[in-house]
């Protein structure tokens, strides 16, 4: 039976509560934050909560339903991201619809361990200073290679704004990733080293009608696989596809006839998918177009940031430096893409040589926790606060993807006549929230957004999972409620302005579903 786990690291208590009626996915995550954290608390306060909520379809035999929402309060409202890997499905397979971690562990760092009905909190000495990779190796050596882990590394220990979570993949290469949009400072402030889930199932979530769910899941898979982006360009060429689409909605790259995408020469099992059930595959397939293969989307994003900020470097040097920065960032649990943008600003302000050697030395400064390193680890916003009088610096501060959403002009189908008064931009956001509520990978949005048949399938899959009949209109209405609830949370904070927290990926969708 589905349940919510409430773990208090201060008094080491573990409690359960029922899932709130009608709440699931990202909407449930926000509800749990409201219930279990103090309004107005600071981001790194023990009164804040760290919440992990698998999507409603995560842990079921549904293609690309591999995601969980991770959320917490922030000084500007809330922080929220979507993670994949082996944790979301295993958490859902244990019947856990939500995990709430609050308080602060006061005796060193700790881990939360779940195995069936057993839940434990215990200290994890000896891991301070270890890289994320070494932390994963230590945990899997002790608890088995099939355990799923999310946690923080050195950057999270320093509570740097650019710190992220690491989240493991199934056994293979790569072993883990640090999602760019994740945050490691909140769990780091709680002295939470890791959450460990021991479970031998990926598809163990209870379903009211599993036979029908599998049948409808296959139909959803067909929509995804038949899409030219999800079924062709993304698995064939990877993140370079996204870079093309950011420039031109019709610029869908194609593999030359008879030519297979580049494959890395690595020993052992390779992970091509972030989790079982993915029908796209985005790992070890990211070709730079010159024979260089990226192991994960994050490395391709670092390469793109390098090209933007350090275009004077040779292609070979860009490849080499991006790979080195990506690996070092992953080892630290640091957002290497934002590090590149911030380091470029710092290099200009400090009048340092604009070289790959300077970049690599600066990431080591961050690893050491020096004053310059911590400043860069604060992101472009930290540098922006130092130079409020410099318009050229303010223009380079990273803003949310939807900062100028009022200027967007979309062109979407009116999926439901009952919601004909909803504008296209609102409709796009609601469909994104449907996917996050259900736990569907955002990459599948090319195939599923703006398609009535996809909406019908998602409504049927909801019914198969819960036993309750729902319509596409109801899914869209719930998504609208979630958007409104998040706006209210932002208003309740001390934020100077209220802005919806929409995934960074929306920049691609603006272009893809925008007017010509």
The full length of the chain comes to: 516
Q: How do residues 129-177 score in pLDDT, each as one tens digit? A: 999 999 999 999 999 999 999 999 999 999 999 999 999 998 877 789 8
The pLDDT, as a whole number, for residue 439 is 98
Query: Tens of pLDDT along 280-312?
Result: 887 655 544 455 555 566 777 888 899 989 999
Is residue 159 assigned to a domain? yes
Q: What is the pLDDT of residues 360-370, one digit of tens each?
A: 999 999 999 99
Question: Residue 497's pLDDT is what?
Answer: 43
Q: SS3 for 500?
A: coil
Say which range, 97-106, 145-154, 301-310, 397-406, has the weakest mean pLDDT. Answer: 397-406
Whole-number Å distance between alpha carbons of 327 and 173: 13
Among 394, 416, 444, residue at a domain's last position: 394
Mean pLDDT of the residues in the chain: 87
252's enclosing H/E stretch is: none
Query: Which of the residue ranges 168-182, 330-344, 375-389 would you say has the lowest mean pLDDT?
Result: 168-182
Tokens of residue 109, six digits: 């760092």
Domain assignment present for 427: no
Answer yes or no: do 39 and 99 share one domain: yes
Lowest mean pLDDT across 38-42, 55-59, 84-88, 100-104: 38-42
Residues 73 and 194 in one domain: yes
Residue-wise pLDDT for 228-285, tens only, equals: 888 887 776 666 566 556 555 565 656 555 444 455 455 567 767 788 999 988 765 5
Q: Which residues form the domain of 158?
A: 3-198
| Closest alpha carbon to 87 in 67, 116, 65 | 67
What pLDDT is attached to residue 259?
A: 45
**310 with 185, same domain?**
no
Average pLDDT over residues 181-199: 96
Cβ distance 359 to 369 under 8 Å? no
For the record, the structure tokens of 312 come out as 């004077």
Among residues 339, 362, 394, the one where a domain terminates is 394
Q: In this predicted structure, what is the pLDDT of residue 188?
A: 98
The whole-number average pLDDT for the span 437-456 is 94
CA distance 505 to 153: 25
The answer on 241 and 345 residing in a single domain is yes
In this prediction, residue 303 carries a pLDDT of: 86
| 272 three-class SS | coil
As a whole number of angstroms, the distance between CA 293 and CA 401 comes to 27
Q: What is the model's pLDDT at position 496?
A: 39
| Helix, coil or strand: residue 476 | helix
Of 394, 410, 425, the residue at which a domain comes to its end is 394
| CB half-sphere exposure, 309, CA atoms < 13 A | 25
pTM: 0.91
Q: Rounded to the nearest 5°, which phi and psi values hold at 301?
A: -65, -40
Q: Is the pLDDT of residue 379 over 60?
A: yes
Instruction: Tell me, yes or no, whether 193 and 324 share the same domain.
Output: no
- 271 with 357, same domain: the answer is yes
Q: Read off the tokens for 135.
A: 């932390």
Give domain status of residue 414, yes or no. Answer: no
Is residue 442, in this structure, part of any structural domain at all? no
Residues 29-45: pLDDT tens digits? Answer: 999 999 999 888 999 99
Q: Do 299 and 173 share a structural domain? A: no
294/300 Cα distance (integer angstroms): 6
Assess whether 181 and 241 both reside in one domain.
Answer: no
Instruction: Name beta bridge partners: 149.
Output: 196
Stretch 418-425: mean pLDDT, rounded?
Answer: 82
Residue 331's region, left for phi above 0, alpha for psi from -120 to 50, else beta, is alpha
Q: How confident is the model at residue 495 (pLDDT cuts 50, 70, 90)?
A: very low
User: Quick one: pLDDT band at residue 514, thresholds 50, 70, 90?
Assistant: low
Beta pairing class for 192-198 and 110-115: parallel
Domain identity same for 25 and 113: yes
Backbone angles phi, psi at 332, to 5 degrees: -90, -15
**Which stretches within 144-184 are classed as H helix?**
154-157
- Other C-beta atoms closer than 10 Å to the C-beta of 33 total 23
Pair (45, 136) in one structural domain: yes
Token pair for 338: 């934002």
Average pLDDT of the residues in 433-448: 94
Mean pLDDT over 354-383 rounds to 97
Q: What is the DSSP string of 340-395?
A: HHHHHHHHHHHT---SHHHHHHHHHHHHHT-HHHHHHTTHHHHHHHH-TT-HHHHT
Is 474 a domain residue?
A: no
Per-residue DSSP letters for 259-271? -PPP----SSPBP
CATH code for position 170: 3.60.9.10
Residue 464 lies in a domain: no
328 shares a domain with 192:
no
In sign, the C-alpha dihedral spanning 508, 509, 515, 516 is: positive
The answer to whether position 300 is within a domain reads: yes
Residue 20, φ and ψ in degrees, nearest 5: -55, 135
HEC assignment per residue over 101-139 = EECCCCCCCEEEEEECCEEEEEECCCCCCCCHHHHHHHH
pLDDT, residue 268, reads 63
Residue-wise burial string across 73-84, b where 16 or more C-beta atoms lie within 10 A, e elsewhere:
bbebbbbbbbbb
The total of structural domains in the chain comes to 2
372 and 302 housed in the same domain:
yes
On the 0-12 / 13-18 / 19+ scale of CB atoms within 10 A, 214 is: middle
The enclosing H or E element of 497 equals: none
Q: How confident is the model at residue 477 (pLDDT cuts 50, 70, 90)?
A: very high
CA dihedral (303, 304, 309, 311) positive or negative: positive
* Helix-helix angle 240-247:297-309, to 10 degrees: 50
The pLDDT of residue 499 is above 60: no
Residue 276 lies in a domain: yes
């Amino acid at each position: 039976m589905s349940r919510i786990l409430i773990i208090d690291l201060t008094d080491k208590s573990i409690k359960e509560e029922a899932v709130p009626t009608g709440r699931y996915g990202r909407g449930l995550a926000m509800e749990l934050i409201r219930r279990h954290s103090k309004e107005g608390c600071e981001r790194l306060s023990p009164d804040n909560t760290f919440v992990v909520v698998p999507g409603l379809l995560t842990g079921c035999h549904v293609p690309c339903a591999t995601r969980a929402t991770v959320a917490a309060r922030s000084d500007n409202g809330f922080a929220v991201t979507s993670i994949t890997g082996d944790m979301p499905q295993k958490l859902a397979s244990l019947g856990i619809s939500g995990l709430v971690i609050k308080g602060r562990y006061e005796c060193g760092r700790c881990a939360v361990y779940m195995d069936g009905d057993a839940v434990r909190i215990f200290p994890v000495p000896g891991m301070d200073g270890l890289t994320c990779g070494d932390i994963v190796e230590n945990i899997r050596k002790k608890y088995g290679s099939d355990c799923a882990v999310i946690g923080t590394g050195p950057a999270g220990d320093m509570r740097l704004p650019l710190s992220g979570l690491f989240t493991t993949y199934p056994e293979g290469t790569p072993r883990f990733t640090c999602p760019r949009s994740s945050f490691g400072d909140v769990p780091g402030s709680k002295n939470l080293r890791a959450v460990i889930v021991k479970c031998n199932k990926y598809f163990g979530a209870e379903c009211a009608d599993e036979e029908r769910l599998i049948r409808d899941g296959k139909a959803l898979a067909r929509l995804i696989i038949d899409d030219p982006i999800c079924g062709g360009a993304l698995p064939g060429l990877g993140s370079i596809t996204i870079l093309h689409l950011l420039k031109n909605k019709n610029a869908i790259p194609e593999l030359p006839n008879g030519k297979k995408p580049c494959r890395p020469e690595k020993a052992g099992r390779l992970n091509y998918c972030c989790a079982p059930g993915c029908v796209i595959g985005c790992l070890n397939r990211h070709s730079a177009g010159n024979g260089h293969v990226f192991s994960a989307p994050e490395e391709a994003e670092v390469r793109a940031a390098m090209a933007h900020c350090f275009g004077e470097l040779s292609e070979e040097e860009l490849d080499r430096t991006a790979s080195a920065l990506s690996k070092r960032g992953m080892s630290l649990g640091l957002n290497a893409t934002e590090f590149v943008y911030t380091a470029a600003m710092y290099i200009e302000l400090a009048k340092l040589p604009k070289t790959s050697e300077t970049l690599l030395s600066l990431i080591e400064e961050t690893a050491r926790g020096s004053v310059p390193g911590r400043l860069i680890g604060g992101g472009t916003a930290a540098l922006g606060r130092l130079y409020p009088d410099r318009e050229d610096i303010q223009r380079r501060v990273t803003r949310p993807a939807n900062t100028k959403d009022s200027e967007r002009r979309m062109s979407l189908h009116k999926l439901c006549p009952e919601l004909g008064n909803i504008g296209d931009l609102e409709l796009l956001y609601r469909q994104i929230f449907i996917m996050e509520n259900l736990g569907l990978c955002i990459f599948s949005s090319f195939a599923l957004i703006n398609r009535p048949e996809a909406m019908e399938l998602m409504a049927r899959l909801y019914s198969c999972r819960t036993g309750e009949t729902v319509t596409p209109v109801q899914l869209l209405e719930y998504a609208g409620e979630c958007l409104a609830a998040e706006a209210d949370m932002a208003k309740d904070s001390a934020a100077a302005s209220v802005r919806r927290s929409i995934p960074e990926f929306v920049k691609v969708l603006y272009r893809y579903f925008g007017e010509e």
